[in-house]
Amino acid sequence: MPLSAIQPDRYDELLQKKVEALRPAFDDLEAPPSQIFSSPKAGFRLRVEFRLWHEGDRLFYAMFRPGEPRAPIPIASFPIAADSIQQLMPQLLSALTADDTLRHKIFQVEFLSTLSGDMLVTLVYHRALDDGWQAAAKTLAAALNINIVGRSRKQKLIIGQDWVDESLNVKGNVFHYRQPEQSFTQPNGWVNQHMLGWATAACEELSGDLLELYCGNGNFTLPLANVFRRVLATEVSKVAIRAAIENLERNGITNVAFARLSAEEMTQALNGTRPFRRLANLPAPLSDYQLKTLLVDPPRAGLDAATLSLASQFENVLYISCNPATLLANLTHLRATHRIERLAFFDQFPYTPHLESGVLLTRRPA
């Protein structure tokens, strides 16, 4: 996104245009009126990364236009980044520039912050990191009151911790999350709170148990555990599953079980076509779950054919989408068995064409 696209004075107009561009396709699927959740106009990104460009002994943050990897665009300020990141950027750059050990062959920096005020900085290098780097990084971390991860090929060094702690307010309830470095988290914490509140409200009248696919670190799992009798959540990433289990314990939630399975594998387990030892430690047999509602938050490719077939068997489907095109394609398939009960748009990425969507589907009467 070019910096010229950031136009806070036109934010409401630009959001409305995005919604208007999408709405007709949902009208064709007989969707109800949509709820629209806006973002702060600036300072909304909790995750930011930049290349670090060297000109002699000088360093500067850089971004690039597509297809122009050798033409850096210097970034002196980045108004869509969270205030904590904006404040840290010049301090960090000055410190890296002044220290030969920290500056040598560094090529990327990644900022991960939270609404709660935590900060983790990842420094990425084209060289092996030694004891001298660790000593310099410890001094830098103490001076700036941050945690640092140093990365190079097949190497990861941690100064402090390699995660941030987040607290999100969902309809008056506060949930605490550990968010590991290089594990997916929602980049716009303010809009994420809207998403979680909307999902919770959408499910309040539903009964039975919830099956959640693509659960990540438990972003949706934690608040939805208050709504359903039991939750069975799946994820393939070991790092995300470890964080999700820890997040359950931190929040005192006892009615959720996690399984490290892909959506395809969970479909096979439910259909009885393949047993999985990874389900052996569930608090109850899979057959004892009353799985009436399915929650999916898939990657941009949407749901594959097998998962679509699985979704069509549920009474309710809560679908969170980062790609309206694949969502609409999936909804065209699911409309044979389900109708759209609720629709929401979430502006996770202001000043871009991107718009997140949330849909609650309920099964049509036989």
Structure tokens at 139: 């001094």
Mean pLDDT calculated for residue range 247-262:
93
Phi-psi region of 318 (alpha: psi -120 to 50; beta: other; left: phi over 0): beta
Mean pLDDT calculated for residue range 207-235:
95
Check residue 298 and report its DSSP letter. Answer: -
Number of CB atoms found within 10 A of residue 66's CB: 5
Q: pLDDT digit string (tens) for 49-66?
A: 999 999 988 999 999 988
In the chain, where are the structural domains located?
3-41+187-363, 47-164
Contact indicator for 342, 318 with CB cutoff of 8 Å: no
Model confidence at 350, pLDDT cuts 50, 70, 90, reads very high
Q: pLDDT digit string (tens) for 173-202?
A: 999 999 999 888 999 999 999 999 999 999
**Whether pLDDT at 4 is above 90:** no
Query: What residues contact 150, with CB distance under 8 A and at least 6 apart?
Result: 122, 123, 125, 129, 133, 134, 137, 156, 157, 158, 159
The pLDDT of residue 111: 98
Mean pLDDT calculated for residue range 118-143:
98
d(CA 48, CA 96): 17
d(CA 230, CA 140): 45
The pLDDT of residue 366: 75
What's the one-letter identity of residue 273?
Answer: T
Active site residue 215: no
Structure tokens at 131: 């004891």
The pLDDT of residue 287: 85
pTM of the model: 0.93
Catalytic residue among 166, 215, 235, 322: 322
The pLDDT of residue 16: 96
Active site residue 20: no
Tell the CATH superfamily of the 3-41+187-363 domain: Vaccinia Virus protein VP39 (3.40.50.150)
**Whether pLDDT at 320 is above 90:** yes
Mean pLDDT of all residues in the chain?
94
The pLDDT of residue 43: 97
The pLDDT of residue 67: 87
Q: Which range (86-100, 153-167, 284-298, 337-351) has the least confidence?
A: 284-298
∠ CA 183-187-192, rounded to 5°: 110
Catalytic residue among 166, 181, 235, 356: 356
We find that the CATH architecture of domain 47-164 is Beta Barrel (2.40)
Residue closest to 209 by CA, chosen among 307, 294, 285, 309:
294
d(CA 219, CA 221): 6
